[in-house]
Structure 1
């Protein structure tokens, strides 16, 4: 079921969320200091392309907290807003609720991606 969900997700809008993460990653990789952040964006882009069957666990320490604050100010807020809007639109119909919930999961991840592990 996860494979079918990922296929429908990718065709019906997952590509937009994944491309947004890729664009954010490319912008972060322009500077040498932002390369670790950009690499994290590319990892999360793969989750945004195919989120079904994957789980996110949050953890981390002070370094993750500081990077999450910088991330939130620079680009995390806009990615979270994008996923919240897509999630709200998809939750209008019964069929779209599982896809909307995935967008809400990605919105939370867009707010604090550092210290999060994807399983």
Structure 2
């Protein structure tokens, strides 16, 4: 079932969500200091393209907290806002609810990507 959900997700908007994470990764990777941030963005671009069958576990320490604050100010809030708006629009219909929930998962991830791990279920 997750394969079908992933295919529908990718062709009905997941591509654009993944493209946003990919573009953020490219912009962050321009500088040497931003390379770890860009690497994390590329990892989450793959998650944004195929989110069904995966869970996110949050953790991390002080380093993750500092990076999350910098990330949130520069990139996180616009990406989270985009995902929340798309999630609300998709949850209007019954068929769109699973896709809306995936957007809400991505919105939380857009605010706190550092210290997060992808778990395959």
TM range (shorter): over 0.9
CA distance in 1, matches of 2:82, 2:43: 18
TM-score (norm 2): 0.98
TM-score (norm 1): 0.99
Number of residue-to-residue matches in the alignment: 119
Return the offset for 1:91: 0.3
Residue 63 of structure 1 deviates from its aligned partner by 0.5
C-alpha RMSD of matched pairs (Å): 0.4
For the pair 1:43 / 2:43, whether they are aligned, the reply is yes
Deviations 1:69-110 (A, max 9, x none): 000011011110110011011000000000000000000000
Match in the other structure for 1:53: 53
Distance in 1, Cα, partners of 2:31 & 2:77: 20
SS in 1 for 2:44: helix
- Say whether residues 1:95 and 2:95 are aligned partners: yes
Aligned pair 1:108/2:91, yes or no? no
Runs of 4 or more, structure 1, over 4 Å off, are none
* CA distance, structure 2, for counterparts of residue 33 and residue 11 of structure 1: 34
Gaps of 5+ in 2: none
What is the CA–CA distance in structure 1 between the aligned matches of 2:52 and 2:14, rounded to whole Å?
A: 11
Measured after TM superposition, the shift of residue 115 of structure 1 is 0.5
Partners of 1:42 and 1:23 lie apart in 2 by: 9
